[in-house]
Amino acid sequence: MPSFKSKEARLSARWVILFLLISTSLLVPATSYSSHKKAIMSQKVKIMFYHAYENYLAHAFPHDELKPLTKTFTDSLSELGNLNLQHLPQNYNGSALTLIESLSSLVILGNNTEFERAVLWLSDNLSFNVDARVNLFECNIRVLGGLVSAHILATDSASRLVQGLYKNQLLNLAEDLGQRFLRAFDTPTGLPYAWINLKYGVMENETTETSTSGCGSLILEMGALSRLTGDSRYEAAALCALRKLWSMRSSLNLLGTTLDVITGEWIEYSSGIGAGVDSFYEYLLKAHILFGRDEFWNMFHSAYVAVQKYFRHGPWYHEADMRSGKATYWQLTSLQAFWPGLQILVGDVSAANSSHREFFHVWEMFGVLPERYLLDQEMLHPTEKYYPLRPELAESTFYLYQATKDPWYLEVGESIMNSLNKYTRVEGGYASIRDVKTMILEDHQHSFFLAETCKYLYLLFNDSFLANENYIFTTEGHPLPVQSSWHERIPSAYTPDNGTFMKSEDSVIRESAMSLQVCPATYLTRSGGPQAESACHIPDARVDHRCQNDQQCGIDSINCRKRTCSIAGYCGLWLNA
């Protein structure tokens, strides 16, 4: 499509306007974050996005991702990413992954014209009938999620496309892809294979190993596809896999990291909230928000309390053995930085703020967030010291600002943006960092830089897209609308006085803010006692912490452990269990 290639002609006027707007920031005092300064920051993020986007179109389109240093491409979604241009299969044109990932970002940035051009190109050219082995999880969150979200944006009341041009082409492509996914679920356990050939299905001798995220983070995209098409098979397959996975949890409500889809046995028993597990927790809560099913909330509630109890150490989260809860690895991984944003959705603002500040402290130490940092040794991991333009810290910063409106988070966002421009911007786009100590660059601009990193930074400074709307974002940053028609049952409205105490046959059980599904900041005990400090917190019955039995002691706000009554008559964490 010629319009994608004509970079200079379409951008020169735009950049002149944007740079003129940015230059006016000198007129605003630096000590305040005025609405004018927020506008300037959002325009700077636009420049970042279009620098990455236009270079992709000029040098890599229609292939998957851009290599900004050499201004070439990589087809990273599939095994074709290992091949050079001259070795590509005949007539292979790529999946235009970065273009798909950019669709919702274009809408959020207000560029409906480019959104329309991209939608129409994909409608005419994209095909999944290719002999390519793809990762089910990555293809689901990036491609299926991108198509489903863009279809919704193309058909909502905003009328972003010229009337009559769009006839559900993206939804048709999404359904075609979803049908190809279903073959991965044909296992004795219902857990899907991690890899599938889009044309031929599961190949002979395919690996049976997958991750918790890989088989437990499919419900948003496949559930949305079922809601849009009326075909329940997609949601049913994802839900069956999720239920099987949850049934494999330990008695501590912990899960491992990797497992076998044929035997249903765990391979790696150690896990945390980072790589291999992260989006599993995220999708439990977001599926409850999107579909209104209490089953998802009950899973998340149990899983969240277990995480706080066995993984949390102050503001940090280490890894632990799912069977014993004993710590295994004391390390920060960059993917963990999504957790504060998830805690905001729970209403656990205090805990979210505490962890977020530690992640940002590490960012400030190195200029970016390293992939892995060893907490017990206070040093970088010897091999995983790269930064691939990940979005998680920007994502959590956006959520925390939305919850608190504290301008400090705007300063964090500005710092992230300045670091990205200082260390990763090159003539051909934005490059990953191979070593955060030397800032040597890697020749790869991941599609999630456009789908998430730029998107969350823009929304931090300009959230007009969210005005009068209610969205949840998938783990790849694709917005899905929360609407009652997708809910099997609209969740009950909870208020601080609607049941602080729950009666059982034997006793009165005091509930946490999380059990009641209210924000901890507004949750009060029946007696008007102290506010809950976290989602799992149940204050002691008496403000002086005196007690006569364990029932008068609550749940600790830091680690979600049950407090007990000592011989001296005081509530505390007296037991090691």
Annotated binding site: 475
* 473 φ/ψ angles, rounded to the nearest 5 degrees: -105, 135
Has 476 been annotated as catalytic? no
Q: Report CA 287 to chain centroid distance, whole Å.
A: 13
Torsion of CA 218, 224, 225, 227, to 10 degrees: 140
Cβ neighbours of residue 340 closer than 8 Å, sequence gap 6 or more: 351, 352, 353, 355, 356, 359, 396, 399, 400
Count of CB atoms within 10 A of residue 90's CB? 4
Active site residue 64: no
Q: Annotated catalytic residue: which of 54, 75, 221, 278? A: 278
Catalytic residue, chosen from 54, 65, 371, 452, is: 371
Tell me whether residue 511 is one of the annotated catalytic residues: no
**Residues annotated in the binding site for Ca(2+), as ranges?**
475
Q: Which member of 79, 116, 138, 268 is catalytic?
A: 138
Residue 235 a catalytic site member: no
Rg (CA), the chain: 24
The answer to whether 311 and 273 are in contact (CB under 8 A) is yes
Q: Looking at 75, 221, 392, 414, which residue is catalytic?
A: 392
Instruction: Yes or no: say if 446 and 432 are a contact pair by the CB < 8 Å rule.
Output: yes
Distance of CA 572 to CAs 54, 56, 430, 439, Å? 59, 57, 51, 47
E strand residue ranges, 307-448? 312-313, 316-317, 320-321, 331-333, 372-374, 379-380, 425-426, 429-430, 432-435, 440-442
DSSP-based helix, strand, coil % in the chain, nearest 5:
45, 15, 40
- Give the phi and the psi of residue 389 in degrees, each rounded to 5: 70, 35
Q: How far apart are CA 428 and CA 563, in angstroms?
A: 57
Give the catalytic positions in this structure: 138, 278, 371, 392
